[in-house]
Structure 1
Amino acid sequence: MNRDPHETTRTDHPAHVGPEPPQAGSGEEARFCLSGHLVRHRSDADADSRRCPVCAARTIAVCPGCREPILGLASVFGSLHGVEPPPGQSWLKPPQYCHCCGRPFPWTERVMSAVRMAIRDLTALDRAEREQLRRSIEHIVHATAQTRLAVVRINAALSRLGKETADSLRGLFISIASDEAKAMLEGKESGQGRA
């Protein structure tokens, strides 16, 4: 794949900024289970872990869509302290989307499915409001022109729910949101408040 060496690549990890991520085969690939637990960080000796030591789920090292290797991420904590996380755990969250094709990884798809199911079960909202919330998912997982409107709609709907339900659903939305939408949902962007 030919890319401009000065081109930056979008990633949700704050420590990854700058030029192109490491190329496939460079020893920077990672293996995650289908639930999103980090099983192998870069080129660990335990390279053939086919099952997660935490949940026993099958593991993948490539995107199911384009077959591009899942890139490993340098552990800031480990780099500073010379410590690697325990097997199946990570100081970092897994990437939500493939850096090459943009497809959501299985662990992201599972959370998106859980959000859709939770929305479907919200009896406090009418059918049109639930459908509007469901459509808002795509605009919070990727930064789009509709992201701000989607967050406003989500916050408005959550304000009509009980606190426990609203907090749980907000947590699910935040777990799949782009950095921009996450800041708005958490009320960290100026002018935005929690519902």
Structure 2
Amino acid sequence: MSNSVVSTEILTMYLFSFFSISLTLPSRSLLRTDSQTCRLAFLVIYCLYISTKRRLPMGYYHPAQICLNGHVINDSIDSHPELNEKFCTKCGAKTITSCPSCGAPLHGDFDCGPFLDLEPPSADAYCYNCGAPYPWTESALKSTTVLLQEEELLTDAAKETLIHELPDIISETPKTKLAVLHIQKYLPTIGRFTADALKQFIIDFGCEYALSLLKL
């Protein structure tokens, strides 16, 4: 889950910088600011953002409620329990609030005080406490494994290789690049249905590194 956060104070500073730049230029108003002024203001705002991005405060995760298929139902069950649901309204699956393997609370919204999290929470693939795959990850791995096993255009060795390396597509590891190379090698040789399912698995669960290498 990304911790991309921006302080309300920083946003105010950005706007103040824009106003200051606009007002110092002759014959310019905020309603008639030309493209050069806009570019200059954007440059200042960008520099301020980069300089403050490295000084983000520590925070904590609210516990979340997520369905067994990975849909986030409530990203802050401690502060908004009224949003809890027994079953997912998107797929009908049962919802959980903790890791089935170790009982650790699921990560939800990242709270860091006066800072705002601009990215909606997404379900993690593996438990941060015990390392076990969450039910939605385990389900995706099993279904993709079955599809690869039933693909007639793949040799048994190729099937074993692709199945064994699926976890390296989900999480960035030293073997991720090799796993991507194998997918690029075998993807053009398999049936369209299996190929589309494998691509969708990568889009839904693949780490950023794998997605960038595969250009998905």
Query: TM-score, structure 1 length as denominator?
Result: 0.70
Counterparts of 2:168 and 2:92, CA distance in 1? 33
8 Å CA contact 2:73, 2:83 repeated in 1? no
Counterparts of 1:176 and 1:99, CA distance in 2? 16
Shift, 1:21, TM fit: 5.2
Q: Larger C-alpha radius of gyration, 1 or 2? A: 2
Q: SS of 1:128's equivalent?
A: helix
* Aligned pairs (5 A) from 1:1-195: 11=1, 13=2, 15=4, 22=60, 28-42=62-76, 43-46=79-82, 48-73=84-109, 91-163=120-192, 165-186=194-215
Q: SS of 2:69's equivalent?
A: coil
Q: Relative to structure 1, is the Cα distance of residues 170 and 72 closer, same or farther in structure 2, using a 3 angstrom cutoff?
A: same
Q: Relative to structure 1, is the Cα distance of residues 162 and 80 closer, same or farther in structure 2, using a 3 angstrom cutoff?
A: same
Q: SS of 1:93's equivalent?
A: coil
Question: What is the aligned-residue RMSD (CA, Å)?
Answer: 2.9
Shift, 1:145, TM fit: 1.7
Give the residue type in structure 1 aligned to 2:186. Answer: A
The answer for unaligned runs of 5 or more in structure 2 is 6-52
Aligned-residue identity in percent: 29
Larger strand fraction of residues: 2
Shift, 1:120, TM fit: 0.7
Shift, 1:171, TM fit: 1.7
Counterparts of 1:138 and 1:48, CA distance in 2? 31
Shift, 1:104, TM fit: 1.4
Shift, 1:185, TM fit: 2.4
Q: Deviations over 1:56-101 (max 9, x none)?
A: 32111111122111121259xxx699xxxxxxxx954322122222
Shift, 1:158, TM fit: 0.2
Counterparts of 1:170 and 1:148, CA distance in 2? 16
Q: Relative to structure 1, is the Cα distance of residues 56 and 48 closer, same or farther in structure 2, using a 3 angstrom cutoff?
A: same
Query: TM-score, structure 2 length as denominator?
Result: 0.64
Q: Which stretches of structure 1, 4 residues or longer, exceed 6 Å deviation after superposition?
A: 16-19
The answer for unaligned runs of 5 or more in structure 1 is 1-10, 82-89, 188-195
Residue equivalent to 2:13: none
